[in-house]
Amino acid sequence: MSVDGESESMNKSSSNLAQPEEFSDNNGSPCGGTSREQINEMINSDSKAPLKTPSKEVVDTDTQVKFMINDSAKGRGKCIAENVIPSFSGLSKEELLKYANDPFWIRMRMLLFVFFWMVWLAMFVGAISIIVMAPKCEAPKKPVWYQQGPLYEVDVAQFVDVQGSETVMEDLKSKLDYLSDLKVKGVILSPVFKTDGTKEGNVVDFKSLDDKYGSLETFKELLKTATERDINVILSFTPNHSSNKHVWFNKSIAGELPYSNYYVWAPPSGIASNGSKLPPNNWLSVTGGSAWEWVEKRQEFYLHQFGIDQPDLNFHNPDVLEEFNEILLYWLGMGAKGFNLDKVQYLLEDEELQNENPNGKPGAVHTQYEFYSHTKTHNLPGVANILASWRSLIKKETDEKGILIVTGDVPVPTDSNSTTISVDISRSEKLLKNLPKNFTANDLYNHLQHIIKSGVEWPPVQLGDRYMKRVSDMFGEENVDGLNMITLLLPATPIVYFGEELGLSGATPFSWRDDETGVSHQKSAQQSHYKVFEALINARDTQTALYGNTNLKVLNDTVLVLTRINLGNPGFLVAYNPSNNNITVDLSTIDYVPGDLMLHTKSVNNSLTPTTGHDKIKSDRVNMEPKSAVMFTFAPKIEE
C-alpha cells in the first residue's frame, strides 16, 4: 500500500480514532523509518518530532503513540512522542470551588463527618467494654496487719525489767524496740485493769489501770509510742464477771437503780430441811460447787460461774451492754487497737433458769461440772450477736483497723464469707493442746491439717500461752526451733508467747541479762533460738509466706515436710524430724523442689553443712538428726 492510499483510507475513517491504522514508510518501518524502540524512547523522553507540513494524526495501537503524517512527496511521517492515555493530576482549585458550596456535597460532608465520629465512638466504647468485661486474674487479697506479722503475747509483770523508780509501763515502752526488731505487728497485754488485789479477773474498775502498773499518763505514752512504731496494743480482760467488791455489785445488792439488774439474781427454789435456802437450779460453777451464792441482804441468789468472788454480769440487760460499749470506747480513744476477751462463751445464760441435762459421761457424778452438758449456760446463740456488735464498734472507732480476739471454744463465724463476722480471731484452737508428749510426724501432720482445713480463712496458731506450759517444758528445748518453723510459716496468724523465741522454760521472767538464755547472748551467738526465730520472721514477711500455696507431707513416716509455693517467688521448705532417729530423706520427690536447695536456717541441734558452696544442699539426700529441723529456699521447678 502507498502512503497516499493509506491517507485516503484514513480520511474515510477520520471520525473513528478508536481504530487507528498502523502504517510504515517505504522501507516498511512505522513512523517514517522510526523503529518501535525509538518510539518507546520518544514516549519515555516525552519528545515530539516537529512537523513542517500539514499532517494527519495516527495512533499506533501497539505503543499507544500519537504521530502525524505529512503530505510531502516522499510520503514520510513524523513521530510525536506523546502518550495517548491521559494521566490524572486532580482537580484544580477552581474546579474544587465549584463543589464547595454545593448543597449535595455539604450534606454529604456532614454525613461522613458524623459517621466517622460515630464509628470512632463505637470503637472506643467497645475497647473499654472489652477491658472491663474481659475475665481477669483475681488479685490476691491484701492481708491485714495481724495476718502479716506475729502477735506477741506478754505477761506484763514478767516481761519487764523495772529498774529504780521506773514504772512498769515506762519499762514496757523501752522494750518496744525489741518487738520492732522481731517485726511484731501487735502485742497482747495481760490484764492490767484495776482489781481488788486477789485475782487479775477480779476487776473493780474497768476504766482504770491497776496501781502496780503505773499511771494512766504513762500508759498513754506507751500507746502513743507503740503506734509510732507500727505496733498495735491489744488489751485483755474478762467481761463475763467483775469482783464482788465492784461498786456496781454493791449497788446491785442494795437494789439501787439502774444497778439492780446488772448481775444475775434469782430467788431460792425452796427451803431445805435444815432451813437453808435451795439454789434456783442445778447449775454448777466451773471451779466446783453450786454456781449460786445466797445474799442475805437482798434475799436472793447471785450467779457465779467461776469463783464466789466473781459474780456474773447480766448481759441480757441493755444497760450492761451499754456500759461495756463505753468501756471499749474509752480505751480505744486512748490509743488501744483492740481487745482480747476471755471466757466470752459464758456471757449469756438461759433466762428461764432451766436445769442442765446430764451428758452421760462415764464415771461423772451430779456434783461434778463434767456431769452436765451446760447448754443453758455455755455458748448461747445470743453470744455471737454481742461479739458482733462489739467488733462493729471497734472497727468503726479505729477506721476498720481494730481487732477483736476471743479466747475459748466459741463456735462463731470468723471468715469473710459469713453473713455476720463476730470476731477477728478465735483462739479456741491451740496447736499443741492435744499433741502427745512424744508426738510423731504423723501426729503433727494431723493437727496441722485440722487447722488448715478448719474452714477459717486465716486461723490463729499458737504453741503455748500463759495458761499452758511452754514448748520446752512440754516437749523439750530440742523441739523449740522445729515447732517455731512450722508455726511461723503456716498461712495463719502466729501468736507467740513471750520468751518462746529464746526457748525459755517454766514461768520464769523474760531474760534481758547477758546469760546463756538471755537476749543479748542469743543475739550475738553464731547460732541460737533467737537467730532461728529472726530468720523465720524475715521469711514470713514475703509474698510466698503471705500468698503461697501450702503443702504438707510425711516422708519415711518420720519427717514432716512443709512447703510454701508462690510461682515467680522463692519457695520455702521446712523439714522437721521429731523422732529419736537419724534419718536421710529425699526431698526432690516433693512437688516443685529442684535438685539444689539454699539453706535459710536450721535448728540449733542440726549440724547440716552445705557441700556445694553458696549454702546449697542437694535435695535428693538430706540428713536429718533427731528432733532437728531445717528450712530451705529454692526456685520452684516447673514441670514441662
Strand partners, 460: 493
Q: Which pLDDT value is given to residue 28?
A: 46
In 3D space, the residue among 434, 395, 390, 393 whose CA is nearest the CA of residue 412 turns out to be 390
Which residue matches cell numbers 477483736? 404
Residue 462 DSSP SS3? strand
Q: Is the pLDDT of residue 14 over 50?
A: no
Which grid cell sits at 99? Answer: 463543589
Residue 108 DSSP SS3? helix
Which of the four pLDDT bands, split at 50, 70 and 90, describes residue 46? very low
pLDDT per residue as tens digits for the range 294-306: 999 999 999 999 9
Q: Is the pLDDT of residue 16 over 60?
A: no
Sheet holding 629-634, edge to edge: 549-555, 559-565, 571-576, 629-634, 596-602, 616-618
Per DSSP (E only), the strands in 592-636 are 596-602, 616-618, 622-624, 629-634
Whether residue 577 contacts residue 584, with contact meaning beta carbons closer than 8 Å, is answered with no
The Cα 214–Cα 192 span in angstroms is 10
Q: Which residue has the higher pLDDT, 431 or 282?
A: 282
The Cα 221–Cα 170 span in angstroms is 8
Q: Which residue has the higher pLDDT, 416 or 590?
A: 590
Query: Of the ranges 63-77, 149-163, 294-308, which one carries the lowest mean pLDDT score?
Result: 63-77
Q: Is the pLDDT of residue 137 over 80?
A: no
Whether residue 453 contacts residue 440, with contact meaning beta carbons closer than 8 Å, is answered with no
Q: Which pLDDT value is given to residue 414?
A: 46
Q: Is the pLDDT of residue 213 over 50?
A: yes
Which of the four pLDDT bands, split at 50, 70 and 90, describes residue 26? very low
Q: Which pLDDT value is given to residue 549?
A: 93
Torsion of CA 438, 440, 442, 446, to 10 degrees: 30
Which of the four pLDDT bands, split at 50, 70 and 90, describes residue 12? very low
pLDDT per residue as tens digits for the range 384-397: 999 999 999 999 99
pLDDT per residue as tens digits for the range 361-377: 888 899 999 999 999 99
